Amino acid sequence: MAKKKTKGKPAKKAKRSPRKKQKTKKAGSKSAAKEICVVCAKRKKGYPVTDDAYIVAVRSLKEKLNMKTGNVLVVCEECVPKYKEKRARFEKYLAIHAFFALAGFLLALYLSPSLNGFLGGSAFALFVLVLSLLTYFPGAEIEEEK
Ligand SMILES: [Zn+2]
């Protein structure tokens, strides 16, 4: 007498019916994005900030870290004078840093005309350029009436 073992236990499947539909907003619906002023950090409409290498890098980094905010960076009307000041400051610093980066690079090559000199000079130049990011301020497309 062989009893048939019913193996197939009706395993209780904890089915969680996903009633809460996750709203996955995909990039593309620009109307849903919040416009944030880069100067006063308020939600305002304004001139769009141009995507430069730095912004693109930060954005892709945030996407990888799942920290994407979906905010659109702008410069609002009231902050245009302040913005210009900050941007001008950054551009000035960038020019100074670029000069020192180049000078340091050439000096390293002059002092040590070898691969080490080249690498050292490159490292120094990169370091100086990274320093300039401390004063980084994005550019914006501001239509000026002249
Ligand atoms: Zn503002």
Mean pLDDT of 18-45: 67
Residue ranges of domains in the chain? 31-135
The tens digit of pLDDT for each residue in 45-94 reads: 999 999 998 889 888 999 999 988 788 899 999 999 999 999 999 999 99
Distance from the CA of 80 to the center of ligand 1, in angstroms? 8
Residue 6 DSSP label: -
Distance from the CA of 141 to the center of ligand 1, in angstroms? 14
pLDDT for 7 equals 53
pLDDT for 106 equals 96
Structure-token pair, residue 92: 């000035």
**Cα angle at 100 between 98 and 102, to 5 degrees?**
70
Question: Rounded to 5 degrees, what are φ and ψ at 95?
Answer: -65, -45
**Cα angle at 135 between 129 and 136, to 5 degrees?**
80
Distance from the CA of 43 to the center of ligand 1, in angstroms? 8
